[in-house]
Chains A and B, each alone.
Chain A
Amino acid sequence: MIVGGGTAGWMAAAALARLCRAGISVTLVESDEIGTIGVGEATIPPIRTFNAMLGLDENEFVRRTQGTFKLGIEFVDWQRPGTRYMHPFGTFGADLEGVSFHQFWLQHSSRGVIPDIEEFNLCAVAARLGRFQRPAADPRSVLSTLNYAFHFDANLYAAYLREHAEAQGVVRREGRVANVNLNGESGFVEAVHLANGERIEGDLFIDCSGFRGLLIEEALETGYEEWTRWLPCDRAVAVPCAGDADPLPFTRATALGAGWQWRIPLQHRLGTGYVYSSSHLSDEQASATALTLLEGEQLAEPRLIRFTTGRRRKQWNRNVVALGLASGFLEPLESTSIHLVQAGISKLLAMLPDRGFNPVLEAEYNRLTARQFEQVRDFIILHYKANDRRDTAFWRDAAAMEVPDSLATKMALFAENGRLFRHEDELFSEASWLAVFLGQGIQPERWDPLVDAAGNPEEIRQTLLRMAAFMRHAAEAMPTHRQFIDQHCRAAPAQRARPIPMRNAS
């Protein structure tokens, strides 16, 4: 029994649909009255595994969702105004003699005799050139180091998944949940009542009702662990506009006075919005800024979204498992929210309880989820903490904040001599940490002493330069992003809502 038909709800429904074959009934309730959040359009590479597990054809999926391809995120003005860097998917260079590539790069960059680290990442090079192609399967090819995700229209994605889920037997019910019945003894949820009086029973409830957490919080009072002291943004104003014919193959995140702006290119439009801290900026100012920054014709009224960063104390409580915004929300800076939905679903499938609800399953699910939330949290905090912008109180406060111990250790080890530590199950790779550390201006004081033992520095430098030349060459031979889409997955032109004339921001 799934409550909520946003991205989370329909992802869960599509994945659980296979249970229908085993005779388990899967029902989803959603309310047209309430609507979905409708943002959440940039993803990270593991989404491909999810789509593949559902058996979706990738070209068809991109076509149906007005999707585009994403090779990474560009961060503009984050370190300080005037700077930009790419956090690309895919790896940097190749390791030599068992020592990480970036250690050699550090050695030479300290003398200024090596190009920017971006030149050693094929995704970054291709992104800058506006080119795209899928990775090669042959691990010897440099093209195998490519990695990608998508941008898509969240509403179209949910609709597409709905079709898939319903075809396999998931039953959709329209209606607003007005009441939740708890069992007097066990405290388990027994049923939900719709506003029209209907009662729907279930064994396992999946709460995908968005921020409010209809079951997990309103009914079960699970509690919420706030992370606003580290991630102070608590509002967003979203406003789509017309994009250009050549969509960039990456997301852009631009730092602004009290937060940052996202820019997500789709085939039929550009998704943009300003994520900000309400204690540093008023809603009117935010929305005015968002409008001045529009690059094209405005396509809808600005929409205000409120949120509190943090996570539900338990994502699984009794017979309720919360997914999506109901389970917690970091902020959208690294496009991780949809991934956390997907990760939750695959854990749930592996630990699907029976009527006995063995508490060990709940404990394991919550342990893994808590850890994943915390790891993503640390990575996002890094972007704020390591800034040299001293222009506004927002950024000064961020630079001054005390960060979690887990992150402080990581930062200290990198600053010392470029060492990267990643837990085995951590979502973001060493390459990701490297890109953001360097991009945010943390330049290690030294490099790994093992570098000096590895061989003649000038010969190694020449090897590195050949790597970069090779990457550039490979990227230049790729089709442009637009050509690639035209060839494989061009969507039908969308029936657009009537454009809204640009308002004067002043």
Chain B
Amino acid sequence: MSAARKLIVIGDGVAGALTAAVLARALANTGFEVHLVGTGGEDTSVGPSTMVLTTRPGMARLHRMIGLDDERLVQSAGASFTLGSAWSGWSSVRPTYFVPFGGAGAKLHGVSFHQLAARLRATGQDLRFGDYTAAPMMAQSGRFALPPADPSNPLAELEHGLHLPAREYRAVLLQRATAFGAQHSRTTYDGVEFAPDGSISVVRLADGSRHDAHLVVDASGIERAVVRQVEDMEWQDWSGLLPCNTWVETMQATNAAPPLYSHVEALPTGWRMTVPTQGRAVQLFASSGSADLDPRPGSTVMNAGRLAEPWVGNCVAIGAAAATLDPVHALPLDLVRSALERLLRLLPGTLPASSEAREYNRETIAELDRSRDLAMVAYRLNARSGESFWDSRRAGEVPEELGHKLALYESRGRVSLLDGDLLDEDEWALLFDELGLRPRRYDSIADAIPVEHLQRQFARMRELTITAIRPLPTHGEYLSAIRRSAAA
């Protein structure tokens, strides 16, 4: 009888616990064993946010796979709902604007909302994307319910994510992982040993035990406990592109019902993000410390960057161990989600798995680089003049792909979608628009629809959305109802 093949996940923070739960669920009864081992440090597995994490809409699928849904996370992890983020102090055209999941408005006759909006603006009408989009309208009203099944309801397509207290979320994930048969080690990680071909042969734990490894996942966060020891794992630094590297988090308790969004506020030398959830609100301060100053007490230092290749031999890095991305768009947990979905598709039965690794790296690198571009956009297009931190963000180099994307949008309102983009066309367009990037010309196909017809449709869309939101419970009432249903 051949011994079980071991997948060993190093780092038992949120990223590691999620990885173990997903792998254990997928590989039950297949002759694979999943082991989860902590490293003892603080949980930086996802990135600089360690107290509350934000999921984007795509996470629901992965949660479903491990038997979790929104209700359950509201009940057992203290989650609240989110529809996107409010931004203030960044833009030249809008003092405050809202970035919803899923972008703005609806298509009409196959023409994108932003093209239609450009056409209406060309007639002299000023128009805010947010006034015709369900998520910001709902976020303002403070009312919420999960989207109705009826496809004709204007809220049917509403996308949402969750704000999750990290410690509670991790506990739920660990519980799922062990329920699916993952073994959570009581001891901690010590080190790895290599086979002659450079792959990891043995993982050593602090209690002196040794484990033959099939595949090792490094989910230890900025510590990069395993990756540090693997020779071929090089690091690419992004500090020149994304300057924030000093992170301070604070938490306040509150009795108020949590808002349906996070708030990202630009400050003279950085920004502050407030992420509310049940009973508390967490603030993350981002700034750019200089190397020769001691970091502020209580702060974490994390420079932006990524591994040159996140999968080398039989070692895959996930979460902050693979890339540290500025969390201004709350992407870090979504990158873990996407990496796990990819790993599931490419999980090798046998090793070496060079084609799997090559494909994994190709897709992951594209996604990380495009996420970096996205994180740069609000800095690049900021409208704060006279502050050296922000002035210098508007100048300087941008990666070629981002330069092209900005130029093309400015010219024609077209979004150049590239491999690895986590946002779709509508989401990019909204972001550009609110930051004040306006196309010089819109798509001529929008001309095919008469202006009066457009105006009527827009007004109707808004009217229907308001009517659909009005009867909904407040977010606070909705959360209480979910909690009560658990108690009953």
A residues near B (Cβ < 8 Å) are 18-19, 22, 98, 349-352, 354, 358, 360-361, 363-364, 367, 409, 412-413, 416-417, 419, 421, 423-425, 446, 448-450, 452-453
**Shortest Cβ distance from B30 into chain A, in angstroms?**
5
Interchain residue pairs A-B with the least CB separation, the first 6: A412-B355, A360-B407, A452-B30, A358-B411, A453-B28, A449-B30
Contact B444 A452 (CB under 8 A): no
Contact A409 B359 (CB under 8 A): yes
Contact B65 A19 (CB under 8 A): no
Residues of A within 8 A of B28 (CB): 453
Contact A421 B448 (CB under 8 A): no
Contact B408 A453 (CB under 8 A): no
Please measure, in the bound complex, the distance between the C-alpha atom of A19 and the C-alpha atom of B355, giving whole angstroms: 48
- Asked if B460 is at the interface (CB within 8 A of a chain A CB), the reply is no
Please measure, in the bound complex, the distance between the C-alpha atom of A364 and the C-alpha atom of B353, giving whole angstroms: 35
Per a CB cutoff under 8 Å, which of A417, A419, A424 touches B417? A424
Please measure, in the bound complex, the distance between the C-alpha atom of A483 and the C-alpha atom of B359, giving whole angstroms: 48
Please measure, in the bound complex, the distance between the C-alpha atom of A237 and the C-alpha atom of B441, giving whole angstroms: 47
Contact A425 B414 (CB under 8 A): no
Q: Give 15 new A-B contacts, CB below 8 A, not counting A361-B408, A421-B359, A424-B419.
A: A98-B65, A349-B444, A350-B414, A350-B443, A352-B412, A354-B441, A361-B411, A409-B362, A416-B356, A417-B349, A419-B345, A419-B346, A425-B417, A450-B27, A453-B26
Please measure, in the bound complex, the distance between the C-alpha atom of A453 and the C-alpha atom of B359, giving whole angstroms: 24
Provide 21 A-B residue pairs closer than 8 Å at the C-beta atoms, listed in order of the A residue: A349-B443, A350-B414, A350-B443, A351-B412, A361-B408, A361-B412, A364-B404, A409-B355, A413-B355, A413-B356, A416-B356, A421-B359, A423-B419, A424-B419, A425-B417, A449-B347, A449-B349, A450-B26, A450-B344, A453-B25, A453-B27
- Asked if B228 is at the interface (CB within 8 A of a chain A CB), the reply is no
**Shortest Cβ distance from A482 into chain B, in angstroms?**
34
Please measure, in the bound complex, the distance between the C-alpha atom of A18 and the C-alpha atom of B30, giving whole angstroms: 59
- Whether A18 contacts B448 in the complex (CB less than 8 A), given A360-B408, A419-B345, A449-B349, comes out as yes
Please measure, in the bound complex, the distance between the C-alpha atom of A141 and the C-alpha atom of B61, giving whole angstroms: 24
Among B345, B355, B358, B407: residue with most chain A CB under 10 A: B355
Please measure, in the bound complex, the distance between the C-alpha atom of A450 and the C-alpha atom of B22, giving whole angstroms: 11
Please measure, in the bound complex, the distance between the C-alpha atom of A363 and the C-alpha atom of B403, giving whole angstroms: 12
Please measure, in the bound complex, the distance between the C-alpha atom of A297 and the C-alpha atom of B445, giving whole angstroms: 47
Residues of A within 8 A of B348 (CB): 416
- Asked if B2 is at the interface (CB within 8 A of a chain A CB), the reply is no
Contact A416 B355 (CB under 8 A): yes
B residues near A (Cβ < 8 Å) are 25-30, 32, 61, 65, 344-349, 353, 355-356, 358-359, 362, 404, 407-408, 411-412, 414, 416-417, 419, 441, 443-445, 447-448
Residues of A within 8 A of B411 (CB): 358, 360-361
**Shortest Cβ distance from B150 into chain A, in angstroms?**
15
**SS class, residues of chain B in contact with chain A:** helix
Quick one: closest A residue to B443, CB to CB? A350
Contact B355 A363 (CB under 8 A): no
Per a CB cutoff under 8 Å, which of B25, B344, B347, B404 touches A363? B404
Q: How many A-B residue pairs have CB under 8 A?
A: 76
Contact B344 A364 (CB under 8 A): no
Contact A360 B404 (CB under 8 A): yes
Please measure, in the bound complex, the distance between the C-alpha atom of A19 and the C-alpha atom of B447, giving whole angstroms: 10
Quick one: closest B residue to A360, CB to CB? B407
Please measure, in the bound complex, the distance between the C-alpha atom of A360 and the C-alpha atom of B411, giving whole angstroms: 8
Quick one: closest A residue to B406, CB to CB? A360
Residues of A within 8 A of B345 (CB): 419
**Shortest Cβ distance from A93 into chain B, in angstroms?**
18
Residues of B within 8 A of A19 (CB): 444
Contact A350 B347 (CB under 8 A): no
Residues of B within 8 A of A358 (CB): 407, 411
Quick one: closest A residue to B420, CB to CB? A424
Please measure, in the bound complex, the distance between the C-alpha atom of A215 and the C-alpha atom of B461, giving whole angstroms: 47
Residues of B within 8 A of A424 (CB): 417, 419
Please measure, in the bound complex, the distance between the C-alpha atom of A361 and the C-alpha atom of B404, giving whole angstroms: 10
Residues of B within 8 A of A419 (CB): 345-346
Quick one: closest B residue to A411, CB to CB? B355
Quick one: closest A residue to B441, CB to CB? A354
**Shortest Cβ distance from B405 into chain A, in angstroms?**
9
Please measure, in the bound complex, the distance between the C-alpha atom of A358 and the C-alpha atom of B407, giving whole angstroms: 9
Please measure, in the bound complex, the distance between the C-alpha atom of A413 and the C-alpha atom of B355, giving whole angstroms: 6
**Shortest Cβ distance from B68 into chain A, in angstroms?**
14
Residues of A within 8 A of B417 (CB): 424-425
Quick one: closest B residue to A455, CB to CB? B29
Quick one: closest B residue to A413, CB to CB? B355
Contact A409 B30 (CB under 8 A): no
- Whether A364 contacts B414 in the complex (CB less than 8 A), given A419-B345, A419-B346, A421-B359, comes out as yes
Please measure, in the bound complex, the distance between the C-alpha atom of A449 and the C-alpha atom of B412, giving whole angstroms: 46
Residues of B within 8 A of A364 (CB): 404, 408, 414, 416
Please measure, in the bound complex, the distance between the C-alpha atom of A489 and the C-alpha atom of B414, giving whole angstroms: 39
**Shortest Cβ distance from B101 into chain A, in angstroms?**
19
Residues of A within 8 A of B344 (CB): 450
Quick one: closest B residue to A100, CB to CB? B345
Please measure, in the bound complex, the distance between the C-alpha atom of A416 and the C-alpha atom of B444, giving whole angstroms: 47
Contact A350 B412 (CB under 8 A): yes
Residues of A within 8 A of B441 (CB): 354
Residues of B within 8 A of A448 (CB): 347
Contact A453 B356 (CB under 8 A): no
Residues of A within 8 A of B353 (CB): 416
Please measure, in the bound complex, the distance between the C-alpha atom of A450 and the C-alpha atom of B345, giving whole angstroms: 9
Quick one: closest B residue to A421, CB to CB? B359
Please measure, in the bound complex, the distance between the C-alpha atom of A423 and the C-alpha atom of B408, giving whole angstroms: 22
**Shortest Cβ distance from B323 into chain A, in angstroms?**
21
**Shortest Cβ distance from A5 into chain B, in angstroms?**
23
Contact B26 A413 (CB under 8 A): no
**Shortest Cβ distance from B416 into chain A, in angstroms?**
5
Please measure, in the bound complex, the distance between the C-alpha atom of A449 and the C-alpha atom of B32, giving whole angstroms: 9
Please measure, in the bound complex, the distance between the C-alpha atom of A477 and the C-alpha atom of B152, giving whole angstroms: 32
Quick one: closest A residue to B445, CB to CB? A349
Please measure, in the bound complex, the distance between the C-alpha atom of A419 and the C-alpha atom of B358, giving whole angstroms: 14
Contact A453 B30 (CB under 8 A): yes
**Shortest Cβ distance from A101 into chain B, in angstroms?**
15
Please measure, in the bound complex, the distance between the C-alpha atom of A421 and the C-alpha atom of B355, giving whole angstroms: 12
Residues of A within 8 A of B30 (CB): 449, 452-453
**Shortest Cβ distance from A444 into chain B, in angstroms?**
11
Please measure, in the bound complex, the distance between the C-alpha atom of A449 and the C-alpha atom of B411, giving whole angstroms: 48
Residues of B within 8 A of A354 (CB): 441
Contact B419 A453 (CB under 8 A): no
Please measure, in the bound complex, the distance between the C-alpha atom of A58 and the C-alpha atom of B424, giving whole angstroms: 32
Please measure, in the bound complex, the distance between the C-alpha atom of A421 and the C-alpha atom of B61, giving whole angstroms: 19
Contact B359 A413 (CB under 8 A): yes
Contact B346 A449 (CB under 8 A): no
Please measure, in the bound complex, the distance between the C-alpha atom of A351 and the C-alpha atom of B444, giving whole angstroms: 9
**Shortest Cβ distance from B57 into chain A, in angstroms?**
16
**Shortest Cβ distance from B187 into chain A, in angstroms?**
28
Please measure, in the bound complex, the distance between the C-alpha atom of A18 and the C-alpha atom of B448, giving whole angstroms: 8
Residues of A within 8 A of B25 (CB): 453
**Shortest Cβ distance from A468 into chain B, in angstroms?**
26
Please measure, in the bound complex, the distance between the C-alpha atom of A330 and the C-alpha atom of B441, giving whole angstroms: 34
Residues of B within 8 A of A421 (CB): 359
Residues of A within 8 A of B448 (CB): 18
Residues of A within 8 A of B358 (CB): 409
**Shortest Cβ distance from A160 into chain B, in angstroms?**
21
Please measure, in the bound complex, the distance between the C-alpha atom of A425 and the C-alpha atom of B418, giving whole angstroms: 9
**Shortest Cβ distance from A140 into chain B, in angstroms?**
13
Please measure, in the bound complex, the distance between the C-alpha atom of A449 and the C-alpha atom of B24, giving whole angstroms: 12
Contact A453 B349 (CB under 8 A): no
Quick one: closest A residue to B345, CB to CB? A419
Residues of A within 8 A of B404 (CB): 360, 363-364
Please measure, in the bound complex, the distance between the C-alpha atom of A436 and the C-alpha atom of B349, giving whole angstroms: 24
